[in-house]
Amino acid sequence: MRRLRQCLLLLPALLALGCTPMFFQPLGSHVRTPADINLAYEDVHFSASDGVKLHGWFLPARGKARATVLFLHGNAENISTHIGSVYWLPQEGFNVFLPDYRGYGRSQGVPTLEGLHADVDGSVRYLLDRPDLDPDRLIVFGQSLGGAIAVHYVAHTAHRRHIRGLVVDSAFASYRDIVREKLASFWLTWPLAWPLARTVEDAYSPVRSIAQVSPIPLLIIHGERDPIVPPGHARRLYEAADSPKALWLVPEAGHIQTFGSLGQRRRFVAFLEAILPASR
């Protein structure tokens, strides 16, 4: 009954506004900081490429940094609830930058697909401007919505020459298709699945641009038990991509759960080591 009530309340908004706003579920307050889990960090305030003021955390690597990982989180909450996906990387020798999209956490603005791409561009510019970082050892790592954004951004950015690899975890292939699938899965919204899905912006969908990521190495990760984004989306992205590319389907993992496994973390570090150029 609770799900039915939620759908009944949501339907007028969907009909009036279209479905694209469904992708954004921001949380304004932080539930913890890196200090709460004994991590060194910097509070970072910077601007998106369109001038919106953003906030993020920079986690420095322990020892000499192998590379810097730009982490793009999923559609809900903020960096304080997504840090669990990457908190272990500094100990492995990687800097990690976690920006919050506009409207999330301490970042200003209102989220839109166009705006989030400007946020990612501002994040990359911030990292490239830091004199203490090697600008040619940048890894982009996106999960769920962040993975979808990462694909389109890396495929089209003018800063491609600085990006050594793209990692996409639990991402959907198409904004329009995932909305249609979700609406079609419930009897009340099933008749409206096709017309409402047509209201979704699809120009930024990763399947449209993933082939242009090449020759940047691409890793697609997906849990085979993902109840939110079916693993078929990962297969579709992999088929559309050009080499070099790799696909990891993780049997025991759900949505963005792969790196709860120590074995998968080690596998990930080995992948990054393999694609990074020799240290200078």
What integer pLDDT is reported at residue 179 of this predicted model?
77
Long-range CB pairs of 191-198 (<8 Å, 24+ gap) are 192/11, 192/14, 196/14, 196/15, 196/18, 196/19, 197/19
Q: Are 67 and 39 in contact (CB under 8 A)?
A: no
* Separation CA 258–CA 254 (nearest Å): 7
Paired residues of 223 in beta bridges? 250
Ranges of each domain in the chain: 36-275
Query: Which 8-state DSSP code applies to residue 162?
Result: G
pLDDT of residue 139: 98
Torsion of CA 194, 197, 198, 201, to 10 degrees: -160
Q: How far apart are CA 118 and CA 140, in angstroms?
A: 15
Tokens 């389109």, located at residue: 152
So what's the pLDDT on residue 184?
Answer: 57
Residue 180 has what pLDDT?
73
Classify 36-275 by CATH class.
Answer: alpha beta
Work out the end-to-end distance of the chain between its first and last CA atoms, rounded to an integer number of angstroms: 61
Q: What pLDDT shows up at residue 17?
A: 39
Phi-psi bin for 190: left (phi > 0), alpha (psi -120 to 50), beta? alpha
> What's at 248, amino acid-wise?
W
Q: Are 171 and 144 in contact (CB under 8 A)?
A: yes
Order of strands across the sheet that contains 138-143: 42-47, 53-59, 94-99, 67-72, 138-143, 163-169, 218-223, 245-250
SS3 content of the chain, % helix, strand, coil (to 5): 40, 20, 40
Give the pLDDT means over successive 10-residue stretches in the chain (280 positions). Answer: 39 43 87 97 98 98 97 97 98 98 98 97 98 98 98 98 98 87 56 53 92 98 96 98 98 97 98 88
pTM: 0.90
Rounded CA-CA distance 21/106 in Å is: 20
pLDDT per residue as tens digits for the range 45-97: 999 999 999 999 999 999 999 999 999 999 999 999 999 999 999 999 999 99
